[in-house]
Amino acid sequence: MKAISTLLTVLAMLITITAAIALVWLQVDGVFPSDEMGSSYRWQVAMLPLMVMGVGLVLIAVAQILRIVAARFEAATVPVV
C-alpha cells in the first residue's frame, strides 16, 4: 500500500506542477482580446488549469490519507508479544 501511496503522490505532484506551468504559460503567451471581453475571458481560459491543479491537490491529500490508513492497519495487525 505504501508503494501505491507513493506512486499516487508522485503522479499528483506531476499533474499539479504541469497544470501550474500550463497556467503561467497560458497567461504569459495567450492571445486575449483587448477590450471586447475584458478580464473575464482570461479567467474563463484559466479555469481548466486551475481545476486540474485542484484535482492534483486532492489526489495528494488522498495519497496521504491512504498512507496513514496503511500505517494504522499495519500497526493493528502486528501482534503484541
Say which residue, 14 or 29, is predicted with more confidence.
14
Q: What is the pLDDT of residues 15-63, one digit of tens each?
A: 999 999 999 988 888 777 666 666 677 778 889 999 999 999 999 999 9
Helix (H, G, I), strand (E, B) or coil at 41: helix
**Burial per residue of 13-35, b for 16 or more beta-carbon CB atoms within 10 angstroms, e otherwise:** eebbeebeebbeeeeeeeeeeee
**pLDDT for position 9:** 93
